[in-house]
A and B are shown apart, each in its own frame.
Chain A
Amino acid sequence: MSESRFNPVPSDDKFVRLAGGQLAKFALNAMAGLALVIYLLSVLAGEAGSTTSGNAIDFENNAITIALREEPPQLDANRATDASSNVVLAHVMEGLLGYDIDAQLVPGVAERYEIREDGATFWLREDALWSDGVPVTARDFVFSWKRVLDPETASQYAFILYPIKNAEAINRGEMPVATLGVRAASDRILEVDFERPTPYFDKLVAYLTYFPVREDFYNSTNGRYGADADMLLYNGAYVMTDWVHGSTMRWVKNDKYWNRENKGFLDEIRTAYITQDINAKLNLFKDGQIVDTHLLSPMLPTAMEQRWQIDRSMDGSVFYLEFNHRDDRITRNKNFRRALQLAQDPNELVYKVLKEPSYLPGVSLFPAWLSGVSESFQKEYPPVQHQINVEKAREHLELARQELGIEEFPPLMMLAGDTPIGLLSAEYYQQLFRKHLGLEFRIDVQIFKQRLEKMRQGDFDVVLSGWGPDYNDVLTYGDLFSSWNLQNRGRYSSQDMDALIRIAQSELDPQKRMDAFGEIQHLLYEDVVILPMYERGFSFVVDPRLKDFRRRSVGPEVDYNYAYIEQSSD
């Protein structure tokens, strides 16, 4: 019995070996075959790629295809806050004033205007029409602005209208909406009263919260205004004809637009993709499916290898470490903040860690692109030259320890966004402060909304934060750290700062006003309110056949309003 079980084993073994050998041969052949097929396919794909150019540019229909970052939650300009809504609305709507191709303020619906100390007057042009052919009137602006400030609308950007008389009180529900300092003197004359002198009001009205809304159309939408393509009236260079939620949009040239000779040269813009995934966008661009995409530093070698013409733009925002100045926080101690300030160097962060060529190392809250009286603001008011000094940093830390009367510092919370750059910076600072100062930081990674919520509640010690400009004036940054600004998440409060911001808000003499900003900049450094990290920029590529495409620092991040397709000459 046992013998019969023993004997077959060797032959079994042989069989197994034979089968194994065959299997190995088969696997080898299969792999080789597969590799060949893949190679052939890639060659074919390469051939195909060079003959047909994808859908990015459609010569026949004079149309382009683009990708949007996100699906806009809705397109009600009065309530929009996100970048994607801004991009869409900047193409389909127009305010009293707008920006030309070189980002200079130019007339929009208003053909001329006048700003006085106590108010402003706008004269509307006759030929500005809604997409249904009805003229845009001053009443449309009055209705829109009142709606923004109505507490029931709960517009997050209502504060941008606060220069208008009674606006703040109305928004708080302390006064009736009818008392707002704006009225239509006639169909074509809009009168505005100011709460306080606002010399930069012209820059404000170009912002999307100030866009007009027509009352009768608004009422006909039954509260669904801006929720769909047919739930919105347009007065911009394009009209949106289709909006398949979560998937595509179609913007078509607006043939009722008054300025169609200088704006809106394309017959159609298709937003065929909604994606945040930058690698996916790069592949779409490579395959000729979209006309432009921005690049992160790991993609730059690929872009150079492809011999693309890489361009750059500043997106206008400044990023910084913001401290929590509330009473129960260690970061309220100035020596502690000074220690952190002296232990870091934004140059190292940008040049060695982030490695983004379009980023500028942060030197101040006021970015390099802002203009001062006659030249750039940073040139007229140079920021403090920052030098890393670890020894002095340690001294300040010791002072802070004694002032706070604690044995050692507890772990601190560093709030950061979940973007790759945000995480990278947070990890860099975590180790930097540990190495130089022996401080323990815990990184609290949150998605954008949650990070804002935690900032609002003050649930952080240090937060990696940033601010993008809403309008083209230094004040868009300058009033951030006033004690009354709700965006001052760290609750920094200083009488000197408040006094300077009051001057900056209402001084009419440009020189004195800029001097105040210069002092604000100095105070921000001396009081260590924030630690500037970087000014964000983008490296991007655009299809060489599309001309006059722009990326903006104020207004929409991508602007196709002036773009046109160059008809191939050969």
Chain B
Amino acid sequence: MSDLTAASFAPLSDQQPSQVIARPSLSYWQDAWSRLQANRRALVSLYIVIGLLLFTVFGPVVWPVDPAMQDIDQISQPPGTDRTATLVADYEPWFGTSGLPGTGLRLAEKATSQAVRLQWDAVDGASGHRVYRNLFPIGPELSYGIPMAEFLNNDTLYFEDRLDLQPGRFYYVVVALDERGLITDRYQSISVDVERVTTRTEALERGLITESNAVQIGDKITLAWHPLGTDYLGRDLLARLMAGARVSLFIGIGAPFLFVLFGVVYGSAAGFMGGRIDQLMMRFADFVVALPFLLFMILFKIAFGIGPGESGVFPMLVALVVLLWPATARLVRGQILQIREQGYISASELLGASTPYLIMRHMIPNTLGVVLVTVTFAIPSAIFTEAFLSFIGMGVAPPTPSWGSMSNEGIKTMLTTPHELFFPALFISLTVLAFNLLGDGLRDALDARMRNVE
């Protein structure tokens, strides 16, 4: 107490440890990111979106198959079909084999997917024959199957079937015709097992073998691999999905980005200026909302000189941008009107903040959450619009694929070959779902009022 010296009054050093109750300061973005990470659904969606982008950009590098190439040997094949085929000689026309042993309906040679050659003896009392093919054995109700050919006299007692022969079992029936050419209940039938074959020329053309290859007629070779199967023209579905993603995602991401950008500028201008100008600008936005989208789509297509047979992706983008911005503009205007009246804006103004500063510092950051959410919700709707337009034939022109046009083609054969519809539909659904969930997560993460909750 008594011996205070000057030294006693030396200031404490800066590094005096003391108890601090604090947590690391996070910027707005770090905070949002950490909240997004906590949302598992949003995170998975984010990975899906990234995966889709990689699929679109790098997919064609990994799987360099021409999406327009038609593998006529493998039309409408579901994934995982057996691909071994026997090499046979090129097709030669056939007009029956004379002196073929055996009686009744019989095969002239081994049944292959190239041709099934049938020969028969005239059915008693027949004045002609009709050949049927069936997937099922003939029952008592005499439903013979698909009529393949009709011969109105007994001169022709052979038939060559080349129609869409797939490996498997077929039942052939030859039915006697009466003198008026009508079918009777007298028939001969045979069951035939078809083997998959391909010719040397075709194999060479599709690059399955090379000239130098020592592959002989009768050897087994493997046909081209299509991981997701093929469509109705034998085109590789995976390659088409990749090419289609390019169109779908270009529209899906490009259009929302552009129209949201325009909407933000327009909406914030209207909201900030207020009064008569605001009224005028918003009535114009109402006017744009009332314009029919499909009509404008067609008008743009003509205005841009997109001739028949050319893809109308660009006019589609323009039509989307020109017609869909008002929703964003309204949303942003509402936000700006609200923020403009906040106390901290008045305070800033009193402290002498300039208009650009107010906009940049206070207004835009506060609307950012809304805007980003609008973008993520606009993306799926734009993908849907593209799919819809291509579905009704307003979008891409063949052979360019898009997911929408692929679905349109797939739906025609939905019952027989469902994979042609399933895959594009799956990709559309997955993309739309991913963007929706991501948008949901972003809304939670970017909401400034949810800050510091955890």
Q: Check if A353 sits within 8 Å of B233, measured CB to CB.
A: yes
User: In the complex, what's the smallest C-beta–C-beta distance from B184 to chain A, in angstroms?
Assistant: 13
Q: Check if A442 sits within 8 Å of B164, measured CB to CB.
A: no
Q: Check if B143 sits within 8 Å of A304, measured CB to CB.
A: yes
CA distance A442 to B164 in the complex (A): 27
CA distance A293 to B11 in the complex (A): 103
Q: Check if B150 sits within 8 Å of A312, measured CB to CB.
A: yes
Q: In chain B, what residue has the closest Cβ to A440?
A: B309
Residue interface bits B66-92, CB-to-A below 8 A is 1, else 0: 001110100100000000000000000
CA distance A426 to B308 in the complex (A): 13
Known: A353-B72, A431-B399. A298 touches B416 (CB 8 A): yes
User: In the complex, what's the smallest C-beta–C-beta distance from A308 to chain B, in angstroms?
Assistant: 6
Contact of A302 among B307, B308, B415 (CB under 8 A): B415
Stretch at the interface among B39-47, B129-137, B219-227, B257-265: B129-137
CA distance A420 to B233 in the complex (A): 13
Chain B residues 396 to 454 lying within 8 A of chain A, measured CB to CB, are 397-399, 412-413, 415-416, 453-454
CA distance A435 to B399 in the complex (A): 13
CA distance A478 to B232 in the complex (A): 35
Answer yes or no: A511 CB below 8 A from chain B CBs.
no
Known: A431-B70, A446-B308. A352 touches B164 (CB 8 A): yes
Chain A residues 423 to 445 lying within 8 A of chain B, measured CB to CB, are 423-424, 426-428, 430-432, 434-435, 441-445
Answer yes or no: A482 CB below 8 A from chain B CBs.
no
Q: Check if A539 sits within 8 Å of B147, measured CB to CB.
A: yes
Residue interface bits A292-320, CB-to-B below 8 A is 1, else 0: 00000110111111011111100000000
Answer yes or no: A355 CB below 8 A from chain B CBs.
yes
Known: A309-B142, A444-B309. A427 touches B233 (CB 8 A): yes
CA distance A310 to B309 in the complex (A): 38
Q: Check if B72 sits within 8 Å of A352, measured CB to CB.
A: yes
Chain B interface main SS type: loop
Known: A302-B415, A304-B134, A357-B133. A445 touches B308 (CB 8 A): yes
Answer yes or no: B276 CB below 8 A from chain A CBs.
no
Chain A interface main SS type: helix
Contact of B398 among A353, A443, A539 (CB under 8 A): A443
Return chain B residues, CB-CB under 8 Å to A205. Answer: none
Return chain B residues, CB-CB under 8 Å to A351. Answer: 162-164
Answer yes or no: A291 CB below 8 A from chain B CBs.
no
Answer yes or no: A449 CB below 8 A from chain B CBs.
no
CA distance A455 to B68 in the complex (A): 28
Answer yes or no: A42 CB below 8 A from chain B CBs.
no
Contact of A357 among B75, B139, B144, B146 (CB under 8 A): B146
CA distance A5 to B141 in the complex (A): 77
CA distance A303 to B135 in the complex (A): 10
Return chain B residues, CB-CB under 8 Å to A539. Answer: 146-147
Q: Check if B412 sits within 8 Å of A420, measured CB to CB.
A: yes
User: In the complex, what's the smallest C-beta–C-beta distance from B437 to chain A, in angstroms?
Assistant: 16
CA distance A385 to B453 in the complex (A): 82
Q: Check if B143 sits within 8 Å of A309, measured CB to CB.
A: yes
Known: A307-B141, A443-B398. A298 touches B147 (CB 8 A): no
User: In the complex, what's the smallest C-beta–C-beta distance from A490 to chain B, in angstroms?
Assistant: 18
Answer yes or no: A348 CB below 8 A from chain B CBs.
yes
Q: Check if B147 sits within 8 Å of A353, measured CB to CB.
A: no
Q: Check if B164 sits within 8 Å of A355, measured CB to CB.
A: yes
Q: Check if A355 sits within 8 Å of B399, measured CB to CB.
A: no
Residue interface bits A345-359, CB-to-B below 8 A is 1, else 0: 001101111010110
Q: In chain B, what residue has the closest Cβ to A460?
A: B308
Chain A residues 388 to 432 lying within 8 A of chain B, measured CB to CB, are 411, 413-414, 418, 420, 423-424, 426-428, 430-432
Answer yes or no: B148 CB below 8 A from chain A CBs.
yes
CA distance A444 to B311 in the complex (A): 11
CA distance A423 to B164 in the complex (A): 19
User: In the complex, what's the smallest C-beta–C-beta distance from B33 to chain A, in angstroms?
Assistant: 20
Q: Check if A298 sits within 8 Å of B415, measured CB to CB.
A: yes
Contact of A443 among B93, B142, B309 (CB under 8 A): B309
Return chain B residues, CB-CB under 8 Å to A420. Answer: 412
Return chain A residues, CB-CB under 8 Å to B72. Answer: 348, 352-353
Q: Check if B146 sits within 8 Å of A304, measured CB to CB.
A: yes
Answer yes or no: B59 CB below 8 A from chain A CBs.
no
Answer yes or no: A328 CB below 8 A from chain B CBs.
no
Residue interface bits B148-184, CB-to-A below 8 A is 1, else 0: 1010000000000011100000000000000011000
CA distance A411 to B310 in the complex (A): 11
Q: Check if A428 sits within 8 Å of B70, measured CB to CB.
A: yes
User: In the complex, what's the smallest C-beta–C-beta distance from B369 to chain A, in angstroms?
Assistant: 21
Contact of A300 among B68, B146, B307, B310 (CB under 8 A): B146
CA distance A307 to B140 in the complex (A): 10
Further 7 A-B residue pairs, CB within 8 A, beyond A304-B145, A310-B143, A420-B412: A9-B454, A300-B146, A310-B147, A353-B72, A442-B307, A442-B309, A445-B309
Residues of B within 8 A of A (CB): 68-70, 72, 75, 93, 133-136, 139, 141-148, 150, 162-164, 180-181, 232-233, 307-310, 393, 397-399, 412-413, 415-416, 453-454
